[in-house]
Structure 1
Amino acid sequence: MIKATDNLPPALPPHSNGYNLCLAELLLYKNQSVKWLPPARSVWSQLNGQHLSRQKGRGMNFAEVRPYQAGDDIRAIDWRVTARTGKTHTKLFSEEREQPVMLLVDFSQSMRFGSRLLQKSVQAAHFASLLSWLAIQQQDRIGALIYNGAALSECKPTARQQGPLAVLNAMINMHQHSAVSPDHKKIHFSEVLRHMHHLCPKGSEIIVLSDFYALQLGDKKRLSQLRSHNRVQFVHLYDPLELGDTAFRGREYVADRKRSVWINFGAPHTRKALETQFTRHLENLSELTSSLAIPLHSLSAGTPLLKQLGQASRPSTRQTP
């Protein structure tokens, strides 16, 4: 695996070195969250060009029953009260507050990669921090399940500042211990999804931040179960090098825990092979999420988060000359 070097780009976010996590770099997003409060502006609309309303419609909390008035939604008529009183009555609902927002943050081995600016895991933590502070700004509760390939760390949904701070500290601790030794038993992604299913309350908003290389077709059933009782969104993290997007034209020795090889990045077929593999992975992921009606967003680890939020999020597969 190509590791970050000491010669880091000057565009790094404040307090960040691109491969470790510290509290200072994650706390920066606390003040940024107010800029993304809907309906004036939405993080999700910046990512995919559409606004996801915070109004939960008929899923909101029941408040009271009152006599029907012209213009009321006929679907909200309380037929039992109407039959008992002989006069049409309608149900009123209030917007749900302090709803649970659950983050599933992937710090597994494939996420510990970065060729240009940040490791994918670091970018995932930055976005998770922004989402955490945004959740409590919207009077929701924030919780998280953090996965590093060999262990899980859970933060139950909590309101106010205690929620984000617990998530941030858990991410920092798990990121520091994300290296999986051969002695550790690997936790499969299906087990992570099963744990999330038992952990989060029904009606939660679940946001999964990962590169999804560990996701299998067999996980579709578990995702369907999560989707049936919750709102689920996927945030796909990728690195520009995965698309073959690099200005480097030399040979590099790369390795993972299974093998090591020399790769010639100056050869066009090498960069094309990387792009083809990435495109196939993204197409499979898009097909899976479409079949489950799960929104799919993408974030690059090669561009600072706040700069990227104003740009189109889907990765381009155009090659660097």
Structure 2
Amino acid sequence: MEFAIQAAGLGKRYGDHQALAGVNLQVRTGSVLGLLGHNGAGKTTTVRLLATLLEPTSGHAMVAGYDVVKQPREVRSRIGLAGQYAAVDELLTGRENLALLGTLLRLGRRAARSRAEELLAAFDLEEAADRPAGTYSGGMRRRLDLAACLIASPTVLFLDEPTTGLDPASRMTLWQMVREQVRQGVTVLLTTQYLEEADFLADRITVFDKGQVRAEGTPEELKRSVGDERLEVSVATQDDLARALYALGPVAHATPRPSEDRHALSVTLTDRLGTISAVASTLRTSGVQVLDFALQKPSLDDVFFHLTQQSNSTHQQQAPQPEGVRA
């Protein structure tokens, strides 16, 4: 199967509120799609529709080869879902949580216990397996929650902001565990507000805003769409800055831009190595005292802010103007 998730014209309306408006998605089998967007952009609604927790008011979607409206049972038997907060029974031990869930999913008691042991080992929870989940740290509960999603060996995994509230070390641990599932062939749809999380995990990214898709592509494609790489040069004094700006004018493909609040400038890199070499050589022969010399790439933060500001600008232009006011 080429695509594990497909959606066309997917929409959801609540009364007068259009939560999702004509979303199209395709997620290749064994890959990670990251959904980015601010609160209320439509990310969680998309997950709930694809996971059969809601029915769309327009469009259609296929998950693991089955229609989410016409064949919800088939879809549910092939997916795992981790919501924004760990959904584990805190009175049960980690082992009991997993074994019980496996039994409820009709794996059989012996198979459920075997699968629980396998997952406890995979998620580094063996030492805490017989402690109540209520005594676990936030990172451990999240790992147990992810293990629970995998008890029935799903082929598609939905992760809705899975690392919210985790410390950086726990977040990185969970990222590695998600990547291991992908290496085993699991398809992942991830919603997140951590842009570095999408950058690390996602093969492709879709940016949501106001219930619509604003952009999609690989992380690198999206970064390139908002600007070129830049060389950031910090110098010692204002005189050094003036000399650097004058000297670099002829060798830079675009006019160097001075910083507004410090002795620094940036040079756009169109010919990456050639420009870097020319800038370094020119600064050396010009006697400029350089304090720092760093390569800066556009980030997903730049992409996100660019797209949402662009959307807000368009929305404001389309909004009805008060009488007597012209756009």
Fold conserved between structures, TM > 0.5: no
TM-score range, shorter chain: 0.3 to 0.5
Larger radius of gyration: 2
- Which one has a larger percent strand, Structure 1 or Structure 2? 2
TM-score, normalised on structure 1? 0.33
